Amino acid sequence: MLDKKGKLAFTFVSFILSFLISIQVNIAKKSPTADNISLARANELSIELERVKAERDSLAETVATLKAYKDSTSLVNESLNNDALLVAGTSEVEGPGIKVTLNDSAKVINPEINPNVLLIHDEDILSVINELFVSGAEAISINGQRIISTSYVRCVGPVVNINGTRLSAPFIVSAIGDPQTLESALKIPGGVVDNLTPWGINISITPFENIIIPAYDGLYSTKYIKRTIDKEDK
């Protein structure tokens, strides 16, 4: 049989045991079922939380770096965008300039003369455009077709194809730039006007204080071109 100390010891341990069970019962009552996740799961979630926190901090740093980079380059980009848009021909522009009207020769066709020389050809228009650009023209259009970096001028039978649109004489070349310089460049001795007038090609140059040149209204289609900066980023 148990002595007194033994009984007390048993009572004490029983008391502790029931006390612990009682606390656990209380906890189980208070915790909703959804919160009774296993400890292993809690540990997993804790590790996942730490990982996500680290990832968030890393991304926040990246965002801060990119924001700083954006702020430093925004002014440059803004000025670049404005100039680039004007020159690219994506918007209607206006300014002082000249209008050059080119018309076929009115000379009577003579069997001794090649009739082709009496007509305006793509090379005549290209020489006018080239001379105007050289003289500082900032925007050029031909019969409303804006000349952009991918524009082409090509004779197709009796008409001239510009930006995929068939145009016929008279060709009105509008150019924005210094009117006096542009006019002088065309009329320079041995220049475009001198080369065409002997064949009876009608060329008239009219300076204007304000000319409106429309935006390029064709399609932009690229297949091979890529920005090198995009390649570097990758």
Partner 1 sequence: MVISILGFIIGYILGQYLNFSVPNNYTMYLSISTLACIHVIFNGYINLKMKKFITKAFLVEFIITILVGLIASYIGILLNVPLHTGFIFVFCFNLYRKINVLIDFQFYNKDTATDKYIF
Q: For the CB of residue 71, give the shortest distance to partner 1 in the complex, in Å.
A: 44
Q: For the CB of residue 57, give the shortest distance to partner 1 in the complex, in Å.
A: 23
Rounded CA separation 102/175 (Å) = 14
User: Counting contacts by CB under 8 A, is residue 20 touching partner 1?
Assistant: yes
- Select from 176, 215, 179, 190 the least CA-distant residue to 127: 190
Query: Residue 4 carries which side chain, given as an amino acid letter?
Result: K
Compute CA 233 distance to the chain's CA centroid, rounded to the nearest angstrom: 17
Q: For the CB of residue 23, give the shortest distance to partner 1 in the complex, in Å.
A: 5
Q: For the CB of residue 11, give the shortest distance to partner 1 in the complex, in Å.
A: 4
Site for partner 1 in 33-52 (CB under 8 A): 35, 39-40, 42-43
User: Counting contacts by CB under 8 A, is residue 19 touching partner 1?
Assistant: yes
b/e 188-218 (16+ beta carbons within 10 angstroms → b):
eeeebbeebeebebebebeeeeebebebbee
Per CB under 8 A, which region of 27-35, 52-60, 86-94, 192-200 contacts partner 1?
27-35
Q: For the CB of residue 36, give the shortest distance to partner 1 in the complex, in Å.
A: 9
Given a contact cutoff of 8 angstroms between Cβ atoms, the answer to whether 171 and 101 are in contact is yes
User: Counting contacts by CB under 8 A, is residue 13 touching partner 1?
Assistant: yes
- Select from 36, 214, 77 the least CA-distant residue to 140: 214
Residue 20 vs 52, nearer CB to partner 1: 20
User: Counting contacts by CB under 8 A, is residue 152 touching partner 1?
Assistant: no
Helices then strands, each counted (H, E), the chain: 6, 8
Residues 155-194, one symbol each (x = binds partner 1 by CB under 8 A, - = not), give: ----------------------------------------
User: Counting contacts by CB under 8 A, is residue 69 touching partner 1?
Assistant: no
List the strands of the sheet with 202-213, edge to edge: 145-146, 139-142, 171-176, 93-103, 202-213
User: Counting contacts by CB under 8 A, is residue 64 touching partner 1?
Assistant: no
Number of residues that bind partner 1 (CB under 8 A): 31
* Distances, alpha carbon 120 to alpha carbons 194, 199, 212, in Å: 14, 10, 24
* End-to-end Cα distance, the chain: 85
Residue 2 vs 219, nearer CB to partner 1: 2
Residue 146: strand, helix, or coil? strand
Q: For the CB of residue 53, give the shortest distance to partner 1 in the complex, in Å.
A: 18
* Distances, alpha carbon 62 to alpha carbons 12, 49, 53, 229, 234, in Å: 61, 20, 14, 19, 16
Q: For the CB of residue 56, give the shortest distance to partner 1 in the complex, in Å.
A: 23
User: Counting contacts by CB under 8 A, is residue 3 touching partner 1?
Assistant: yes
Contacting positions for partner 1 (CB under 8 A): 2-3, 5-7, 9-27, 30-31, 35, 39-40, 42-43
